[in-house]
Structure 1
């Protein structure tokens, strides 16, 4: 981290990988064909369709635990869950539901920080996903009720390594004297930002209450079904 400052780290076990799994494993052939006919990716095609849906319109709610829960439950044996599926459920419904689930997971992390006395006043989205999926970032803003700014670089980790490298090189080799100076010169935030839409946030507040109910039920021992299924699965793999 940066000398003189504290860094509190948390994260989710799957975000982009979760959307990638659905596109690769859960999307029917006709969606891939229609995306190809439009000359676009399946991600972009589903985002376009999902953007036409209102918050709560899918009738779905998910727990984003396809790869376990890293924060706040710290339990790799948990698994994913989608509630509300019917014979009318479409791929774009599930796709949007997964976007919303990751946003709910982020809100849970933010609230946990704040309950512990660490105020979260600003969100900056990094990496390539925020620049490719505008719907995702808007949903995150709506769910968290916070403005979200976008880092200019799509390769944030590589840029961070370059910043530390520039400090290690020092002024005499064309670098910088401190991490703060290097970061101020080498990193940028885009002018655009995403602000929460209040009518969306009101619906997401309702859905988040239900997300929390599922979170507590399946994540804190109210139901052991996820782990029971894994135990049965492991027996069959022997």
Structure 2
């Protein structure tokens, strides 16, 4: 029997699967970790412990629990949160914690300065994306300004997936989909690194070699084999960002397919027919040469439900809290008895790109219950999601089908509220394992044991959620947008 191994590093958890050539999952394993917030607006991981340490633990657990001979694992693929920024020395050792994706807003001054200097129109034309907290280029410049001693010792800037691939193979590579987030250092037309827009950020030889996600980056080294239990010489793909692997896992493969990932954040990927550039959303080459993707993401989603459980539902058993809260929220009518929540607890990414945005629960009176508040939270995330899907519609990019995936798909209230508020039906596939399953499929693609259309047989549709739009939700959405517009200056003034 031939197997492929997929491991994904998420914001709060690492997950792995061992999959056979027919797509059957033979073992699953996971390990939790924390997102470090050393100060408001910052977000970090420890690369040795949270990325490589988790990879080793999950890999060894999968081998132990499955009883599979490591020699029968024919390829490995990994994905991770991204885009991240990690400086490493000439030996590949991290020089600091990994700076996370768009939830980390430390480079605000650099974003503003680079945009003013280069011009937003030029950046979008060349790089496909406006500079935001999601962009890696400004974070490298922040490193240069804030920690010149680390910058001086930096041999390469890696992202989370690149770090794992380097540990496994010794190769310093990055996939094009991830690299497109390194604005203003990546040109979406030439699909190559550039420094003519900003030659003061980093010498280009300190950036990883560019590859496509279905290409083999290298092979497991003897040192990595000793750490993980894998066989030396096992092929390893270039990998990608977790959301892209998650999209692939549920069959996002044709133009018009859209993934909605219900995780610590909502992340959306649309397989686009052509390149679409707009400052409100993100663009990247898709995982395969000649293809395109449009992306969007909220800053807090599942993270917000965890916050609510930990702060407002301390009387509940943490293991049973979410079903109990869902039952309380189900007793509250649509509209949460007049409550509105802005879910901007870590600022917001698309489409407003405002790291100063704040969370708010508006409309409270003495009759409101915890169930009302939790329903308002779920609906607030859904209104934030509609703000994104309406933006896609304005750009002529409405999906032909929407595939939902992630841990949040277990929350029926959240799924239904999202469909009702956005007006879009959703499909949930048989397997909601997520990015690690997409990694296993990418590994199989890379060694030629499957073709791309086979993902529909690996992971067929299981059920759908039918949207039930209403005028009351339309009115609430208008109020949601007005509440943000009328409070954003106050939010910024709060600091």
TM-score by length of 2: 0.40
Displacement of 1:145 in angstroms is: 1.1
Mapped partners of 1:52, 1:123: distance in 2: 28
Query: Given that residues 406 and 434 in structure 2 are in contact (C-alpha distance below 8 angstroms), is that contact kept between their aligned partners in structure 1?
Result: yes
Mapped partners of 1:54, 1:162: distance in 2: 42
Residues 123-202 of structure 1 aligned to structure 2 (within 5 Å): 123-130=402-409, 132-170=410-448, 175-176=449-450, 178=451, 180-190=452-462, 192-198=463-469, 201-202=470-471
Deviations 1:103-160 (A, max 9, x none): 1111110111111221223221101211x21111111111011211113222211111
Query: Given that residues 127 and 151 in structure 1 are in contact (C-alpha distance below 8 angstroms), is that contact kept between their aligned partners in structure 2?
Result: no
Paired position in structure 1 for 2:343: 64
Displacement of 1:229 in angstroms is: 1.3
Mapped partners of 2:336, 2:344: distance in 1: 22
User: Aligned to 1:9, what secondary structure does the other structure show?
Assistant: strand
User: Aligned to 1:49, what secondary structure does the other structure show?
Assistant: helix
Residues 74-93 of structure 1 aligned to structure 2 (within 5 Å): 74-93=353-372
Paired position in structure 2 for 1:234: none
Q: Which has the higher contact order (CA 8 A, sep 6+)?
A: 1
Displacement of 1:28 in angstroms is: 5.2
1:20 aligned onto 2:291: no
**Higher strand proportion (structure 1 or 2):** 2
Deviations 1:46-71 (A, max 9, x none): 10121122212422001110111110
Mapped partners of 1:119, 1:28: distance in 2: 40
Higher CA-based Rg = 2
Query: Given that residues 72 and 112 in structure 1 are in contact (C-alpha distance below 8 angstroms), is that contact kept between their aligned partners in structure 2?
Result: yes
1:103 aligned onto 2:379: no
Displacement of 1:84 in angstroms is: 0.5
Query: Given that residues 167 and 182 in structure 1 are in contact (C-alpha distance below 8 angstroms), is that contact kept between their aligned partners in structure 2?
Result: no
Mapped partners of 1:40, 1:74: distance in 2: 34
Mapped partners of 2:404, 2:345: distance in 1: 22
Q: Identify unmatched segments of 5+ residues in structure 1.
A: 231-238
Query: Given that residues 325 and 374 in structure 2 are in contact (C-alpha distance below 8 angstroms), is that contact kept between their aligned partners in structure 1?
Result: yes
Mapped partners of 1:25, 1:51: distance in 2: 20
Paired position in structure 1 for 2:492: 227
Paired position in structure 2 for 1:207: 476
RMSD: 1.9
Paired position in structure 1 for 2:144: none
Deviations 1:191-218 (A, max 9, x none): x2111224xx221111011011123334
**Matched residue pairs, number?**
209
User: Aligned to 2:328, what secondary structure does the other structure show?
Assistant: helix
TM-score by length of 1: 0.81
146-155 or 16-25, larger mean C-alpha shift: 146-155
Mapped partners of 2:354, 2:429: distance in 1: 30
1:44 aligned onto 2:323: yes
Q: Identify unmatched segments of 5+ residues in structure 2.
A: 1-286
User: Aligned to 2:396, what secondary structure does the other structure show?
Assistant: coil
Paired position in structure 2 for 1:5: 291
**Higher helix proportion (structure 1 or 2):** 1
